[in-house]
């Protein structure tokens, strides 16, 4: 069945979300105006070089809806669309408050692609519960430094993640980082060492997976 943008959202609440004052308030010194995209490296250096990880992602993401929070520009989104084709996603929802120019819904023969120009926390609060998987690539602590924002974001991601679904992070804060830390408090970190050919390689350590049981 075709996914429409309206299918992503729950009924609007009567009043503002309790954390509404945080929306749009998570800007660090690195606003990533011209930085290297991360998700192409996630695809070429991590997913494509680790067949067991690819198999795990196929099992977890086939026919699922992946929400890419802080998706970045065309180069980053193209890499995620390649991953979507490799794992058989039903839909990809790209969210960015800078690098998405306007809301769009694109129906292709293989999947739905939705683009939303929105603050990621605001968007996460609008999503249906228990329906999605998530990607947060390149949301390092210098880009997303607000602990209050990140912990509400992690709770909203948890709420919206499908039971049995996964959250993937990929960032340079190899030994943690604020978002990774907040997600670890509500979701189960996956032991990725069994999925990687060389778990000690830094580029592999940058990728973390979380499951909602």
Ligand X SMILES: C[S@@+](CC[C@H](N)C(=O)[O-])C[C@H]1O[C@@H](n2cnc3c(N)ncnc32)[C@H](O)[C@@H]1O
Q: Which residue lies nearer to ligand X by CB, 99 or 134?
A: 99
Residues lying near ligand X in the complex (CB under 6 A) are found at 26, 32, 35, 37-39, 70-72, 76, 95-99, 119-120, 137-138, 143-144
Least separation, in Å, of the C-beta of 88 and ligand X? 21
User: What is the smallest separation between the CB atom of 73 and ligand X, expressed in angstroms?
Assistant: 7
Work out how close the CB of 2 gets to ligand X at its nearest, in angstroms, rounded to a whole number.
26
Paired strand residues for 92? 66, 113
Q: Which is nearer to ligand X, 100 or 196 (CB)?
A: 100
Residue from 90, 93, 133 nearest 113 by CA: 93
Nearer residue to ligand X within complex by CB, 39 or 141: 39
Indicate the residue among 65 and 71 with the shorter CB distance to ligand X.
Answer: 71
| Cα–Cα dist 104/91, whole Å | 13
User: Which residues fall within 8 angstroms of residue 4, CB to CB, at 6 or more apart?
Assistant: 105, 112
Angstrom distances, CA of residue 39 to CA of 68, 94, 188, 207: 10, 13, 23, 10
CB of 92 to ligand X, least distance (A): 12
Judged by beta carbon, residue 72 or residue 165, the one nearer ligand X is 72
Smallest gap from Cβ 126 to ligand X, in A, equals 13
Query: Considering beta carbons, is residue 14 or 134 the nearer one to ligand X?
Result: 134
Element holding 150 (H helix, E strand) = helix 147-160
E strands present in the chain = 65-69, 91-96, 104-107, 112-117, 133-137, 166-170, 188-189, 207-211
Residue 200: both structure tokens together: 């000690």
* Token pair listed for 180: 């990774």
- Tokens representing 97 are 């408050």
In the complex, least distance from residue 120 CB atom to ligand X, rounded to whole angstroms: 4
C-alpha span between 212 and 193 (Å, rounded): 19
């Amino acid at each position: 069945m075709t996914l429409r943008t309206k299918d992503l959202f729950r009924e609007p609440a009567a009043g503002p979300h309790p954390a509404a004052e945080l929306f749009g308030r998570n800007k660090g010194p690195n606003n990533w105006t011209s930085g290297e995209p991360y998700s192409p490296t996630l695809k070429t250096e991590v997913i494509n070089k680790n067949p067991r990880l690819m198999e795990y992602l196929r099992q977890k993401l086939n026919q699922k809806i992946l929400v890419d929070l802080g998706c970045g520009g065309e180069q980053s989104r193209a890499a995620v669309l390649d991953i979507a084709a490799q794992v058989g996603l039903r839909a990809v929802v790209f969210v960015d408050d800078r690098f998405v120019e306007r809301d769009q819904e694109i129906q292709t023969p293989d999947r739905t692609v939705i683009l939303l120009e929105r603050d990621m926390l605001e968007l996460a609060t609008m999503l249906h519960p228990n329906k999605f998987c998530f990607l947060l690539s390149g949301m390092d602590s210098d880009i997303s430094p607000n602990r209050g924002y990140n912990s509400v974001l992690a709770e909203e991601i948890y709420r919206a993640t499908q039971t049995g679904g996964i959250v993937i992070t990929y960032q340079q804060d190899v030994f943690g980082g604020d978002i990774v830390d907040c997600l670890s408090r509500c979701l189960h970190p996956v032991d990725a060492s069994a999925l990687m050919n060389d778990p000690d390689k830094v580029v592999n350590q940058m990728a973390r997976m979380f499951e909602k049981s």
